[in-house]
Amino acid sequence: MPITLKSPNEIRQMREVGRIVVATLRALREVAAPGVTTLELDRIAYETVSRLGGQPAFLGYRGFPGSICASINEEVVHGIPSATRILREGDIVSLDFGAVARGLYADSAITVGVGAINLDAQRLLDVTQEALRQGINRVRVGGRLTDIGAAIEDYVLVQGFSVVREYVGHGIGRAMHEEPQIPNYGPPGKGPVLRPGMVLAIEPMVNLGTWQTKVCPDKWTVVTADGSLSAHFEHTVAVSSGGPQVLTLPED
């Protein structure tokens, strides 16, 4: 499958979808508090995206039962919203959400602390968010795809954490997952040359312990193999001659 290029008009529309994703994640962040279940978060996401004129992209994707992925503590990604998963003080929860409107997708993730969190957890969130920023900074016309992951990995390793290798970012546009795959590790200077109109969902997953993961018996939830905390941040980013355009940033 070739990498598809998006027209300026498509990118404008994807930015509109990005606004819906940002508003939904903001609503989730505001209610993520001790005592709230991940199923309640899922319901709020569904209501928010519907009110804003989009549809949840994950719902029904390969049979996934939720509108969001909600992954608590050692859960890395793909946590299934559940009435029995109750957020507790000190947890960190990754909230991953994609939306589609008029046939175009946007995808973003944040990890938030529930109430007061400890210093290790806070540092993990800060490092993962900064790693995403470092990766986005390498998005430039004429650059190479693996420059992104190399920058992410370099930054994370220096901070003493590890980067998940089994799950990667992806192109996005008329489908949620398009070519190319975007690893968050590896040497720079390889892979496709970045061209205007490519749109990339860049999404580092960073573990406090080792990088290895395993899949739970529910066949969706991915957890760290050593049970250590994991964090995840994601933005949808268009390659343009003016530099990276993040399509899932809050207005402010």
Question: By the criterion CB under 5 A, which residues form the site for Mg ion?
Answer: 96, 107, 109, 201, 234
141 vs 175, beta carbon nearer Mg ion: 175
Q: How far apart are CA 40 and CA 86, in angstroms?
A: 10
Least distance from Mg ion to the Cβ atom of residue 186, Å = 18
Least distance from Mg ion to the Cβ atom of residue 146, Å = 18
95 vs 158, beta carbon nearer Mg ion: 95
74 vs 96, beta carbon nearer Mg ion: 96
Least distance from Mg ion to the Cβ atom of residue 98, Å = 5
Q: How far apart are CA 68 and CA 70, in angstroms?
A: 6
55 vs 88, beta carbon nearer Mg ion: 55
- Read off the tokens for 21: 């994703």
Least distance from Mg ion to the Cβ atom of residue 133, Å = 17
Spatial CB neighbours of 52, under 8 Å, sequence gap ≥ 6: 19, 20, 23, 24
**Residue closest to 24 by CA, chosen among 252, 250, 220:** 250
Q: How far apart are CA 225 and CA 74, in angstroms?
A: 9
Least distance from Mg ion to the Cβ atom of residue 107, Å = 4
Least distance from Mg ion to the Cβ atom of residue 66, Å = 12
72 vs 201, beta carbon nearer Mg ion: 201
Least distance from Mg ion to the Cβ atom of residue 203, Å = 5
* φ, ψ of residue 160 in degrees (nearest 5): 90, 15
Residue-wise burial string across 86-114, b where 16 or more C-beta atoms lie within 10 A, e elsewhere: bbeeebbbbbbbbbbbeebbbbbbbbbbb
Helix (H, G, I), strand (E, B) or coil at 65: coil
Sign of the dihedral defined by the CA atoms of residues 83, 216, 211, 109, in that order: negative
Determine contact, residues 42/70, Cβ cutoff 8 Å. Answer: yes
In the DSSP assignment, the letter for residue 5 is: P
64 vs 88, beta carbon nearer Mg ion: 64
169 vs 186, beta carbon nearer Mg ion: 169
Q: How far apart are CA 173 and CA 207, in angstroms?
A: 28
